Amino acid sequence: MFAGKTSYLLRSLSADARCFEQREQRGVLIRSTRDRRYGGAVVAHSGVDASATLRELSVPIVYADENNFVAKLTSCAHDANFVYVDELQFFANDVPTAERVCDALRTLSCGKMIICAGLDYDYARKPFPIMAPMIASANAVERLHARCSICGRSAQYTARKRSAFATANAEDDPVGGAEKYEPRCADCHHAIA
């Protein structure tokens, strides 16, 4: 978290969108219904709100959950040349679902540009089931890192703040921002574990 994944995705979308009209191409952004931060608007942790830009570029936002992601992806990507998926880790909580999602993305990738952003690990450093097979089948992978909130080094992990454990449904709603999580390097993450 806090490495700029959504900002990077939105910059890519914005740059690609300049070509959409010239080449009569379309793009679509798929987001998780679980991500209710910022009232559902497309906002990065940096505070950049891309909702107006997406409307201006005529890029539809499609909301999906783990149960309907493959169907919505297949449906909306049919007419799109560029597919952007934000918070990919929310679309598969188990290996069979991850395999279905990866198969669908691989099938659609023929003739389409698919750009996904997501986390490799949760706050307990458990890998999200979808990320390893997606990384293995990707044409290119860019790893972004935040700065550790403790020492300032490159942060590969996310730590859940102690105050986030105090909420009644902390495990039921893992989605959050700076109020729940902070970036940590491996050494500082081990220090609190």
Question: Cα separation of 157 and 187, whole Å?
Answer: 10
Query: Containing H/E element for 56?
Result: helix 51-56
Contacts of 40 (CB under 8 A, 6+ apart): 63
Residue type, 38: Y
Instruction: Report which DSSP code applies to 92.
Output: -
Question: Cα separation of 111 and 100, whole Å?
Answer: 20
**114-141: burial string, b at 16+ Cβ within 10 Å, e else:** bbbbbbbeebebeebbbbebbeeebeee
Pull the structure tokens for residue 44: 């990065």
Residues in the chain: 193
Which residues are identified as catalytic?
87
